[in-house]
Amino acid sequence: MSKILLVDDEPSILSVLSTLLKAEKYDVTPALGGEKALEILKKEKFNLMLSDIRMNGMSGLELLKHCNKNISDMVIIMLTAYGSVETAIQALKLGAFDYVTKPFKLDELLMTVQRALEYSKAITENKELKTQIKTRYMLENIIAESPAMQNVCEMIKRVAPTDTTILICGDSGTGKELVARAIHANSTRKDKKFMAVNCAALPEALLESEMFGHVRGAFTGATSDKVGLFESAKGGTIFLDEISSMPLSIQSKLLRMLQEHEIRRVGSNENVSIDARILTATNVPLEQMIKEGLFREDLYYRLSVIPLTIRPLRERVEDIIPLANHFIAKEVQGTDKQSALLDKEATNALQKYRWPGNVRELENAIKHALTFTTNDTIKVDVLPERIIESSSIGYKQNPVNIDPFSAAKGLSLKNFLRDKEQKYLRQVLEQCGGDKEAAAKKLKISLATFYRKMPDIEE
Ligand SMILES: Nc1ncnc2c1ncn2[C@@H]1O[C@H](COP(=O)(O)OP(=O)(O)OP(=O)(O)O)[C@@H](O)[C@H]1O
Ligand SMILES: [Mg+2]
């Protein structure tokens, strides 16, 4: 039975409406005024609220605003005095489903209530269906038009239910973490934790204690016991990102864990058994590192039981526009640009560009474009400059080309170099889709140096 909350500050109207709606087999709760309604809403859920607009104390519009912000899944119909169309329209803008003018005709009121309840039911069903689909086939989040990406999805479905260790290879921003999450979401461990650790982000000692935990007194500053990621995963999945940055000492500990399904906390002699599936990712080919003695070959074979490679975006052009549309849809949700569309020229520019920062760069480019789009058509001129430039004929990629007017500016050599350096740093940052860590890595400088050189960039 649908539950209706009835709000009015006139007891006579409340009682008449209550009787009418109860006769139609609705479960009706009357509330005398807006404040009373709020009190009831704190304790109970309703499918529909029918409220007068003009009330003493809290007005119907205030109540509507509050409900729309704080309560989902409840449709709202407003009752308004004959002739006050403007307030009624304001109510619709504030999220009311519809309004009924007083004095109302019984048929009209009941029809509106019925329509509103059907609408609410459809929305709830749709939501439930969507969450079901999401948990069952998390792959719907992955756009895969190209054969290469479809292949990846096929692999995800096949390997997810197994407990195999998987090495996900791909350039920065290609979707490695997304794939790792999809593997977890499609595995039998999906209700357990998914824990990610970026091996490049922590210094050796911290990474070790983060992964394996430590006991009190294991090193200076270890004032209490700490449970590591492997232990706290408890049947879940651990995603070791940028595994190429893992120091050799930790590599051997990880290898032991993979062989024996046991670890020891730093500073402890006790073995703790571990149940965690290990997924890893790298944007550096590990084979070269093995040759240089920086990565253990035996660990590599353990980790890459099944290697899964994501191709750079420029090699799967079919994915570019579907991905762009996916990001547009994601960004415009709840804004006034609901029907934003790429025009032909913008589409062409996106397809031609080489996407050094891959999907992440595309996602940022779409955000950029939507910020500068004033209407529903996304034109080429609102795309980031580098994309416009590379799409125009005859453009040669030359990241540090010398501006012929620099000499005329009369800059000192130091300032000239700083100027160029800034431009180059910005270009690399853009190429990395705004990811400062990735940019610093590409430039072979530390993150701290990167921030020092670009003081106006937000940390
Ligand atoms: N095929 C895809 N479909 C939908 N979204 C995608 C796809 N590939 C990547 N993305 C999105 O692009 C962004 C970057 O992806 P992700 O973080 O997984 O990349 P990554 O390879 O881990 O990057 P990095 O190497 O920089 O850590 C995320 O927002 C992700 O959701
Ligand atoms: Mg990542």
Ligand with minimal distance to 360 CA: 1
| Ligand 1 atom, smallest distance to 180 CA | 18
| Ligand 1 atom, smallest distance to 283 CA | 25
Q: Are residues 127 and 7 in the same domain?
A: yes
CATH of the domain at 245: 3.40.50.300
Total number of residues shown for the chain: 459
- Whether 404 shows a pLDDT value over 80: the answer reads no
HSE-up of residue 207 (Cα within 13 Å, Cβ side)? 22
Q: Are residues 168 and 277 in the same domain?
A: yes
Name the token pair of 228: 């590591």
Confidence (pLDDT) at 452: 81
Confidence (pLDDT) at 138: 62
Question: What is the distance between the alpha carbons of residues 134 and 128, in angstroms, rounded to a whole number?
Answer: 10
Question: What is the distance between the alpha carbons of residues 203 and 245, in angstroms, rounded to a whole number?
Answer: 10
pLDDT digits (tens, 9 = 90+) for 442-456: 888 888 888 888 776
Provide the pairing of β-strand 237-241 with 262-263. unpaired
pLDDT average, residue stretch 355-378: 93
What is the distance in A from the centroid of ligand 2 to the CA of 437? 11
Question: What is the distance between the alpha carbons of residues 262 and 257, in angstroms, rounded to a whole number?
Answer: 5
Q: Are residues 10 and 129 in the same domain?
A: yes
What is the distance in A from the centroid of ligand 2 to the CA of 382? 27
Residue of higher predicted confidence among 71 and 152:
152
pLDDT class of 405 with cuts at 50, 70, 90: very low
pLDDT digits (tens, 9 = 90+) for 46-69: 999 999 999 999 999 999 999 988
Does the residue 411 lie in any domain?
A: yes
Closest CA to 282 of 294, 270, 269: 294
Confidence (pLDDT) at 107: 86
Backbone angles phi, psi at 98, to 5 degrees: -165, 175
- Whether 402 shows a pLDDT value over 50: the answer reads no
- Cβ of 363 closer than 6 Å to ligand 1, yes or no, is yes
What is the distance in A from the centroid of ligand 2 to the CA of 173? 7
Q: Are the CB atoms for 295 and 251 separated by under 8 Å?
A: yes
pLDDT average, residue stretch 104-119: 87
Does the residue 55 lie in any domain?
A: yes
Percent of the chain with pLDDT over 70: 91
pLDDT average, residue stretch 250-277: 93
Closest CA to 309 of 276, 287, 278, 285: 285
CATH of the domain at 373: 1.10.8.60
Closest CA to 359 of 236, 179, 226: 179
Backbone angles phi, psi at 76, to 5 degrees: -130, 130
Confidence (pLDDT) at 314: 94
- Whether 159 shows a pLDDT value over 60: the answer reads yes
Candidate from 184, 359, 366, 431 with most ligand 1 atoms within 8 A of CB, to mutate: 359
Confidence (pLDDT) at 459: 61
Which helix (H) or strand (E) is 19 found in, with range?
helix 11-23
Listed residues: CB within 5 A of ion ligand 2: 177
b or e along 104-138 (b: 16 or more beta carbons within 10 Å of the residue's beta carbon)? Answer: eeeeebbebbeebbeebeeeeeeeeeeeeeeeeeb
If you ran DSSP here, which 8-state letter would residue 59 be given?
A: -
Question: What is the distance between the alpha carbons of residues 103 and 321, in angstroms, rounded to a whole number?
Answer: 53
pLDDT digits (tens, 9 = 90+) for 74-110: 999 999 886 777 888 888 888 888 888 888 888 889 9
Domain closes at, from 311, 332, 348: 311
| Ligand 1 atom, smallest distance to 177 CA | 18
CATH of the domain at 42: 3.40.50.2300
Q: Are residues 296 and 435 in the same domain?
A: no
Confidence (pLDDT) at 72: 78
Does the residue 19 lie in any domain?
A: yes
What is the distance in A from the centroid of ligand 1 to the CA of 184? 15
Name the token pair of 269: 């002699």
- Whether 277 shows a pLDDT value over 90: the answer reads yes
Q: Are residues 319 and 299 in the same domain?
A: no
Burial of 288 (0-12, 13-18, 19+ CB in 10 A): exposed
Q: Are residues 268 and 294 in the same domain?
A: yes
Q: Whose CA is nearest to atom 9 of ligand 1?
A: 175
pLDDT average, residue stretch 3-27: 94
Question: What is the distance between the alpha carbons of residues 282 and 61, in angstroms, rounded to a whole number?
Answer: 54
The DSSP-derived string for 303-355 is HTSEEEEEPPGGG-GGGHHHHHHHHHHHHHTTSS-TT-EE-HHHHHHHHHS--
Q: Are residues 278 and 340 in the same domain?
A: no
Q: Where are the beta strands (DSSP E) in 340-410?
A: 341-342, 377-378
Q: Whose CA is nearest to atom 31 of ligand 1?
A: 178
Provide the pairing of β-strand 237-241 with 194-198. parallel
- Cβ of 331 closer than 6 Å to ligand 1, yes or no, is no
Name the token pair of 318: 């079919």
Q: Left if phi > 0, otherwise alpha if psi is -120 to 50, otherwise beta: which for 237?
A: beta
Does the residue 430 lie in any domain?
A: yes
Domain closes at, from 311, 341, 365: 311
Who contacts 66 (Cβ-Cβ below 8 Å, separation ≥6)? 38
Amino acid at 325: N
- Cβ of 359 closer than 6 Å to ligand 1, yes or no, is yes
Domain closes at, from 88, 113, 133: 133
Candidate from 138, 168, 176, 360 with most ligand 1 atoms within 8 A of CB, to mutate: 360
pLDDT digits (tens, 9 = 90+) for 307-349: 899 999 999 999 999 999 999 998 888 777 777 889 989 999 9
Maximum mean pLDDT: which of 129-133, 355-359, 421-425: 355-359
Q: Are the CB atoms for 395 and 359 separated by under 8 Å?
A: no
Q: Are residues 324 and 246 in the same domain?
A: no
Confidence (pLDDT) at 170: 96
Name the residue range of residue 429's domain.
Answer: 406-453
Q: Tell me how many domains the chain contains.
A: 4
pLDDT average, residue stretch 290-299: 94
Ligand with minimal distance to 284 CA: 1
Q: Average pLDDT of the chain?
A: 87
Q: Are residues 125 and 157 in the same domain?
A: no
Q: Left if phi > 0, otherwise alpha if psi is -120 to 50, otherwise beta: which for 371?
A: alpha
What is the distance in A from the centroid of ligand 2 to the CA of 196? 9
pLDDT class of 411 with cuts at 50, 70, 90: low
| Ligand 1 atom, smallest distance to 171 CA | 25
Q: Are residues 240 and 152 in the same domain?
A: yes
- Cβ of 34 closer than 6 Å to ligand 1, yes or no, is no
pLDDT digits (tens, 9 = 90+) for 216-225: 998 888 888 9
Q: Are residues 53 and 65 in the same domain?
A: yes
- Cβ of 170 closer than 6 Å to ligand 1, yes or no, is yes
Confidence (pLDDT) at 401: 39
Q: Are residues 318 and 427 in the same domain?
A: no
Does the residue 62 lie in any domain?
A: yes
Question: What is the distance between the alpha carbons of residues 153 and 308, in angstroms, rounded to a whole number?
Answer: 10
Does the residue 398 lie in any domain?
A: no
Does the residue 30 lie in any domain?
A: yes
Does the residue 414 lie in any domain?
A: yes
Q: Are the CB atoms for 267 and 276 separated by under 8 Å?
A: no
Dihedral of alpha carbons 150, 152, 153, 154, sign:
positive
- Whether 234 shows a pLDDT value over 70: the answer reads yes
